[in-house]
Amino acid sequence: MLHKLSGTDIFRFFDLGDPLRKFVAGHLYKYKRMFDTLFFHIAAKISLPDPEKETIKTFFTQRKFKRKQFLLQEGETCRQLSFISKGLIKSYNVDDNGEDHINLFGWEGWWVSDFYSFLSATPGQLNIEAIEDTEVLQITLADYEAMLIKVPVMERYFRILYQNSIVTKERRLMSSITHTAEEKYRHLLQHHPELIQRIPQTLIASYLGLAPETISRIKRNKTP
């Protein structure tokens, strides 16, 4: 089975504002099983037979985090790749002046980690913190690698996942370099309006690399 990809589909499970989010949340509630969210997302990219699902389950452990609790702190080695089945997190680092800079937001259907730290098994600089109460499925590096050996079709899943992620990250980078503050904010507003509702403006500002005051001024100047 080839992975079919349309112009919009490419972002479906990736960029901020996953349109399936609400449905997935309902789905989860109905079955009350965190793995359903995972398999639902996997099914969007590859077809995964039931026996393989059972194998995959054995590699993950479930964990819950309260609001403001850290999944990972700067200086730690990130031992887990986490799939968010419920909740909302921010991943950020702190610069020399003590300022936070948000790397990404993640919610239902997102994979999060300090990827560099995780893959290299060395201490990293990212903090990952729950913004809302969050439930995740976690896998260690050894198990991630073992799973990919044991269930080779997951290579395909992650290849497609990462492939799409690269597109998103390239776009965000170019936006960061080429756009003005206002363009960045309006772009986010246009493409991910739900974000603005769910996440405080201060954090949005940090994510966009702007001062919160700048966003206030943009809203004042051109919203009328």
Partner DNA sequence: GACAAGGCTTGATCTGTGTCAATAAATACC
Partner DNA sequence: GGTATTTATTGACACAGATCAAGCCTTGTC
Q: Which residues bind DNA (CB under 7 A)?
A: 97, 99, 180-182, 200-202, 209-217, 219-220
Of 37, 103, 127, 134, which one interacts with its own copies (CB under 8 A)?
A: 103
φ, ψ of residue 56 to 5 degrees: the values are -60, -40
Query: Is residue 148 at the binding interface for its own copies, with CB under 8 A as the rule?
Result: yes
Residue 36 in 3-state DSSP? helix
Taking Cα atoms as reference points, which of 52, 39, 46 lies closest to residue 4? 46
| Smallest separation (angstroms) from DNA to the CB of 131 | 9
Footprint on residues 151-210 left by its own copies (CB under 8 A): 152, 155-156, 158-159, 162-167, 169-174, 176-178, 209
| Smallest separation (angstroms) from DNA to the CB of 5 | 33
Encoded tokens for 217: 């001024």
Q: Judge contact between 130 and 110, C-beta under 8 A.
A: no
Nearer to DNA, 108 or 129 (CB): 129
Quick one: which H or E segment has residue 130? strand 127-130
Query: Is residue 213 at the binding interface for its own copies, with CB under 8 A as the rule?
Result: no
Taking Cα atoms as reference points, which of 17, 16, 18, 36 lies closest to residue 26? 36
Which of DNA, its own copies, none has residue 178 at its interface (CB below 5 to 8 Å by kind)? its own copies
Instruction: Please measure the distance between the N-terminal and C-terminal CA atoms of the chain and give it in whole angstroms.
Output: 50
Which of its own copies, DNA, none has residue 214 at its interface (CB below 5 to 8 Å by kind)? DNA
Sign of the alpha-carbon torsion through 31, 62, 197, 5: negative
- Residues at the site binding its own copies, with contacts judged by CB under 8 A: 2-3, 5-7, 9-10, 93, 95, 99, 101, 103, 115-116, 119-122, 145, 148-149, 152, 155-156, 158-159, 162-167, 169-174, 176-178, 209
